[in-house]
Chains A and B, each alone.
Chain A
Amino acid sequence: MALLEAIGIGKTYPGGVVANDGVNLVIEPGEVHAVVGENGAGKSTLMKILFGIEQPNAGTLLLDSKQVHFSKPREAIDAGIGMVFQHFSLVPSFSVYENVVLGSEPRTGIRLDRNKAIAEVQALSDKFRLKVDPLPPVGSLPVGQQQRVEILKALYRNARILILDEPTAVLAPQEVQELFVAIRSLVAQGKTVIFIAHKLPEVLEISNSITVMRQGKTVGQVKTKEVTEKSLAAMMVGREVSLRVERKPTEQTERVASVSGLRIVNARGTEVVAGLDLNVYAGEIVGLVGVEGNGQAETLEAIAGLRHVAAGDIVVANQNAGPLTVLQRRGLGLASIPEDRIAEGLSTGSTVAENLVATRLNDSRYVRGGLLDLKAIKANALRLIEQFSIRVGGPGSAVGTLSGGNMQKVVVARELSEQPKLLLVNQPTRGVDLGATQFIWRTITDARDKGAAVLLSSADLSELLALSDRLLVLYRGKIVAAFLNTPDLTPETLGTYMLGLSTQTADEMQAALK
């Protein structure tokens, strides 16, 4: 008998986006059930419905064969459903135990019973093999441990069913293994886990059964033993896909950018980049590898001129970039695709056309005598929409109305409409569907083939391995390993260095540091 069942779920958002259309899901007790699909397939919406954040327009939910309706998360929590989001809901300055008990604290009188709270958190942590110290503030913990705190939060509220939304996206390979140990221990002790993912090898490793979603519909439910990665990918996309990019041989002799002795301190006073040296040559893609928060993003921001540098030199196109403003650096041929397209890459309330010229407001082609040349701006937009196949109503549509993939294409189009000398790229395909991913990858490698020096950071190792010529592994703001990208380089090898489990010697790194 199924534990949790969703039958014919339909969800249309205001504005007419159909996120779920007749979705079915059957979860058996005590299993790990993976829900897979491309970005935009409707996985997240379905989970939000299960957890009471969104209300379905159609369909029914059955829990223990009884019909249920969750109008808010609290009701789902009370029914024994817990959810761990990709973005954690943790108060950084609070200790681990405070975060776990927040909202359902043990009390003596009006007082929060600290000792009991700490003991309960410790007991849960031991029981489910989710090792974490209850006392330090959560903000000081690595991402993997923060995720455990989130899982403990759900268990503390007696969750029987645990929904994990892309839990591995932020983890290094070894941390993924630790998470899987915990998941197995949870299942062994009678919990049921729903696992949202798009990395197929992980799904095949951890799950018992798999529901595949595509364009808001369920394509099918299968037993994990009966499928292969290939057949699963075909179900997800509806066609065979190859995630390969061809790279031309290029002459990598001209040094376009170099960073030496770079030190960056964040607003909390912690050193995030601790003496970094790197060079990037024309015609190569250098991948910055690392678990998020080890200084990759800060390094890129510092080179772009968006972040204060505590010490060190940055040279772009043979010029000391230190004193230069963002715009002056762009004048040297620097282009940047930032991590967060909504907060940093785009002005979502402005039109596509406006966004596409936003970095060229002192270019006489678009601005003359202090006035915008609307005709030229529109013509530019039409050309780029065509060239980058951006799916949009027209140049006058607000960027905020586009899908994630198309928003990202607007950023890419603006940055690469003119060949840059130095291209900084951070998380180019996060939350972007497979089709757009392939397109963006090709665009970046095209820029490389034409002689751009590219510095790429990504949380997705397969992306780094697919695109990079060289890979530099960062751990706690330092380069701990460097590799030339050869076919025998595996994610596991990189993972060892990403977690700081080992460090290459200077000699070992030499070949790939240039």
Chain B
Amino acid sequence: MMELLITVFSATFFVTIIRTTTPLLLATLGGLIADLGGALNVALEGMMLIGCLTAVIVSVYAPWYVAVAAGLGAGALLGLIMAFFAFRLKADIILVGFAINILAAGGTVFALAIATGGDKGTSINLQSKAVPAVDLSFLSAIPGIGPVLKSFLSGHSVLSWLAAFLVFAVWYFLYRTPWGLWLRGVGEYPAAPEAAGIPVNKIRTWSLIVSGALAGLGGAQLAMFNYVGFTRDMTAGRGFIALGAVLLGARHPVGALLAALLFGAFEALAVVMPGLFNDIPAELIRMIPFVVTIAALVLFSIRAQRALALRGVK
């Protein structure tokens, strides 16, 4: 137990949390944008998974940043496809989302087998690249706090820094720009923006494209930093956890960050614990992030119901 506490309060563990949080945070921001626009994106999981594979395969032949852009582009394209089916062809958006998830689950294995020449499990025999970590070793030159700063801030993925910046960027977009106003208006009461001449479906289409791009970016981080290479079903429900994080974060970018950090922290715990507790089956430990997701959503919902009951609504 002591060992666990020492691990949890170490700088390495903090770095692990940031690593596990980043893909979740990117997907959560994606989910947030789609959700605020009134287009629930249940396909985050599939978009992330396809983003993973695309990034891995492209990275074999191109520099890392091209691969990351490819993962992002794949997600954006899926967002566009989803919008086309949902808004142009008027298909049910939830069903379209699940279709994309199913397509991703099977399609990535199929594409992986072609790319690797028959391996249906991992891309281990592909020479895929990683996203570089940002080295801030110079910080340790600062007298006093320098070494501590370095151990906390150095070694994060480029995409982690980007994700942190995106929390601010999404907030600024939503609450300071006209387009953010349009997006929120479209999500809350589409008749109003419609009457003001704002093209509702175009806004929603863009929200799904951006949502997909962020999920794809999250996929790239997962397959080019957290792990290097692709494994079947490697997203392991992160897209769905992100949907929960949107709600838990009260549909606000800062809330999304906190919710993603919460889930990320428990995932990090699941990463470090097997090394410390040999007698607990690793499978049980790996369940932790999912159990926490369910528990958090249940608690959130109980609290909301209680608040309503207190005021006499139900």
Which residues of chain A have a CB within 8 Å of any CB of chain B? 72-74, 77, 85, 87, 89-94, 98-99, 102-105, 107, 110-112, 153, 263-267, 269, 271, 308, 310-311
Contact = CB atoms under 8 A, between A and B. Distances in A.
30 contacts: A73-B197, A74-B197, A89-B194, A90-B189, A91-B185, A91-B192, A91-B193, A92-B189, A93-B184, A94-B185, A94-B188, A102-B181, A102-B192, A103-B182, A103-B196, A107-B178, A111-B176, A112-B177, A112-B178, A263-B312, A265-B313, A267-B308, A267-B313, A269-B308, A269-B311, A308-B313, A308-B314, A310-B312, A310-B313, A311-B312
Contacts of A107: 178
A314 to B, nearest CB: 15
Contacts of A153: 196
Contacts of B178: 105, 107, 112
Contacts of A111: 176-177
Interface residues of B, number: 22
A102 B198 contact: yes
Contacts of A89: 189, 191-192, 194-196
Chain B interface helix/strand/loop/mixed: helix
Contacts of A72: 197
B193 A110 contact: no
Nearest to A77: B197
Nearest to B178: A105
Interface of B: 176-178, 181-182, 184-185, 188-189, 191-198, 308, 311-314
Contacts of A310: 311-313
Nearest to A307: B313
A94 B313 CA distance: 24
A265 B311 contact: yes
A98 B198 CA distance: 14
A107 B189 CA distance: 23
B312 A94 contact: no
B189 to A, nearest CB: 5
B197 A94 contact: no
A308 B312 CA distance: 8
A91 B197 contact: no
A102 B189 CA distance: 12
Contacts of B191: 87, 89
B196 A102 contact: yes
B21 to A, nearest CB: 28
Given A102-B198, A112-B176, 11 more contacts: A77-B197, A89-B189, A89-B192, A89-B194, A89-B195, A91-B193, A92-B188, A92-B189, A94-B185, A264-B312, A265-B312
A102 B177 contact: no
B11 to A, nearest CB: 38
Contacts of B197: 72-74, 77, 103
B181 A98 contact: yes
B189 A91 contact: yes
Contacts of B195: 73, 85, 89
A487 to B, nearest CB: 41
Contact of A266 (B176, B177, B193, B313): B313
Contact of A112 (B181, B193, B314): B181
A105 B313 contact: no
A19 B194 CA distance: 24
Contacts of A99: 192
Nearest to B312: A310
B188 A105 contact: no
Nearest to A72: B197
Nearest to B307: A269
A94 B181 contact: yes
Contacts of B185: 91, 94, 102
Contacts of B188: 91-94
A384 to B, nearest CB: 36
Nearest to A74: B197
Contacts of B176: 111-112
**Most A Cβ at <10 Å: residue of B184, B195, B308, B314:** B195
